Amino acid sequence: MSSLRKPSLGPIVGHTTHESCRLWIAASNPDNAVEKESEVRRTLGVIGVVKQDNTVDPDSLAYFRLHRGHNRTGIFTLGTEIGLFKAAQGGAEAVPYRLTPATQYKVRLSTLTVDDAFDNDYDVPDKTLVGRLPHPKNWVDVLNRMPDAYVEAEFRTFSVPAANGKPKTGLSFLVGSCRYPGLLWKRKASDRVFGPMLRDHGKDIRFSLMIGDQIYADMFNKIPLCLADTYEEFQERYTTAFGSRNMREFLRHIPTYMTLDDHEIEDNWTQDRINKDRKKRVLFNIAIDAYLSYQWSHGPRSWDNCVPLPEKKKLSAVQEALHNPQTPLLYYDFLCEGYPFFVLDTRTQRFQDEQEGLHDNHLLGRPAQHPTEPGQLERLIHWLQAQQAARGNTPKFIASSSVFVPNTVISTREGFKNKEDSDSWPGFPNTRRAILDCIVEHHIQNVIFLSGDVHCSNVAKMTFNGGPSNEITAYCLTSSAFYWPFPFADGNPADYVHDSSDPKNRDTFDLSEGNGTMDYTAWGFTQCDNFCRIDIDPANQQLLFHLFDQSGSPIKTRKKSGAMNSAPQRLQLTDW
């Protein structure tokens, strides 16, 4: 048995609530051994909470597994998990370390290697493993002496949600997407933006949301030899990205939620490809295995975090299916300070049917054949209705790596081909229509789409006409890219519709019969590398959308009034 070592990657502060926090680390192969030799070594995580005197609380120390099948990555949910030792020993000590709402915490995490001839993590029960380990309290002095920068993470638990479901306080958080890795000397440029994100905003934001393309597996997507197609290559992409100085520092201080887009797999990925090409099926399996290990694992990893349960304890078959999925899901929801968020998976369930054309495309999976077998679209619609019923007009955020609106100019032209070529919502009218029908029919207010992908940040407001609910407020806010060194290649503001009712690029969207139409206006375009800060201002019933460049300076953008300045966009919402 070796002594404690610093994580090879992490810590990452993940999904946080008022009483828990999910913390992630990765360990390198023990002793830099080749894979065959490392199979007989098991790696564990060790975690401890730091007290006010800056020493680790011995009673908080716990072991947790770092799975070989997931590149020796692992998570520990502080506040709910008890750790391997307590689980095996049982008794009065078998209770989790309790966290207090709205409280700042500091934790230390490290790795420990032990000899183990079993090649499968699940062949060894906790009790067998723990029998070969010292009591976790024995590591307190070693953990205290380890360098802070490599092992420490800090986070603040969220506040307890309001009893009536309607928050009265504000909320601030960061959003961004698309971090091109950079080449050679430019790798530092790709990491620069995370410095001011932490330095200037870390003290008063509650979390960050990274909406896709956290890595570029296809760094040169036109050159086959530069496409990641082995697990080692995907691992290298994640290690380079998450191990860069500023990003690593940011991730160990700010709760961060992530979702994937195409570059986590392959440019313009759709799920149809795995049925057409065996190599694409292998590529998808490798890419998603890496995604699960490095991004999904420290997220909520479950559905139904903020959907209120029906009052009756006994659920109907449909309610049971909506609330309790039986398989893991890549989409998820979470609640922060009483504000609900739904993070979509717009890649792994995306289907484009080339034979049937546009109207047989589905962005969030094919529609359910039966109400007791709901998919992502059905759960999103249920989520919208449940949030409106429980929280009224409280802002409801939907994170979509693909941009909901505005559309590209080319996608507004006649014929299926232009829309079929779209890698965003214009190519999936049935999915878009189902969501907008739900918003209109159930009068769901203050829906805010958060998007990335297009390397051109902007603001868009949707308006509804001719249906049962015309006075609806809905926006789409796009922040992209963290770093993209080729602004001349894509993302030109002139490529996007600014007014969907303008005859030059008419893009009015027809809802189902009786529900009218949707139009939008878009403004505030910029191709600058950026991240955005969103502030909810309940006193004025407003949303503030503020873009910052790589150095942390506010970016000048056009406001709805036509003024050009670096002030935040002030978006008026419906009273809640």
The identity of residue 302, as a single letter, is: S
Please state the pTM of the whole predicted model: 0.95
Q: What is the pLDDT of residues 113-149, one digit of tens each?
A: 987 656 555 567 777 788 888 999 999 999 999 988 7
Q: What is the pLDDT of residues 290-303, one digit of tens each?
A: 999 999 999 998 88
- 280's tokens: 């694409």
- For residues 554 and 531, give the distance between their C-alpha atoms in angstroms, rounded to a whole number: 10
Exposure b/e, 163-176, CB count within 10 A at least 16 = b: eebebeeebbbbbb
Residues with Cβ within 8 Å of 122's Cβ and at least 6 positions away in sequence, in order, are: none
Q: What is the pLDDT of residues 92-103, one digit of tens each?
A: 678 999 999 999
- For residues 103 and 92, give the distance between their C-alpha atoms in angstroms, rounded to a whole number: 26
**What confidence score (pLDDT) does residue 147 get?**
84
Confirm if 569 and 475 have CB atoms less than 8 A apart. no
- Go through the domains of the chain in sequence order and give each one's CATH number: 9-156 (2.60.40.10), 174-572 (3.60.21.10)
- For residues 210 and 174, give the distance between their C-alpha atoms in angstroms, rounded to a whole number: 8
Tally of CA atoms within 13 A in the half-sphere of 430 that contains its CB: 18
> Does pLDDT of 182 surpass 70?
yes
DSSP string of 394-462?
A: --EEEEESS--SPPBSGGGSSSHHHHHT-SSGGG-HHHHHHHHHHHHHTT---EEEEE-SSS-EEEEEE
Q: Order of strands across the sheet with 152-156?
A: 62-65, 41-49, 104-115, 152-156
- 447's tokens: 């829906």
Q: What is the pLDDT of residues 415-446, one digit of tens each?
A: 656 666 678 898 899 999 999 999 999 999 99
Residues with Cβ within 8 Å of 462's Cβ and at least 6 positions away in sequence, in order, are: 405, 472, 474, 475, 476, 518, 519, 520
When pLDDT is cut at 50, 70 and 90, the band that residue 479 belongs to is: very high
- Name the residue with tokens 């995907």: 234
> Does pLDDT of 572 surpass 90?
yes
Query: Which range is most confident: 176-190, 348-362, 501-515?
Result: 501-515
**What confidence score (pLDDT) does residue 145 get?**
93
**What confidence score (pLDDT) does residue 36 get?**
45
- For residues 205 and 411, give the distance between their C-alpha atoms in angstroms, rounded to a whole number: 37
**What confidence score (pLDDT) does residue 194 get?**
98
Tally of CA atoms within 13 A in the half-sphere of 398 that contains its CB: 30
**What confidence score (pLDDT) does residue 369 get?**
95
Angle at 210 between CA 207 and CA 212, to 5 degrees: 165
Peptide bond preceding 371 in cis form (omega within 30 of 0): no
Closest CA to 289 of 337, 335, 348, 346: 348
Instruction: Tell me the sheet residues that pair with 75.
Output: 24
When pLDDT is cut at 50, 70 and 90, the band that residue 358 belongs to is: confident
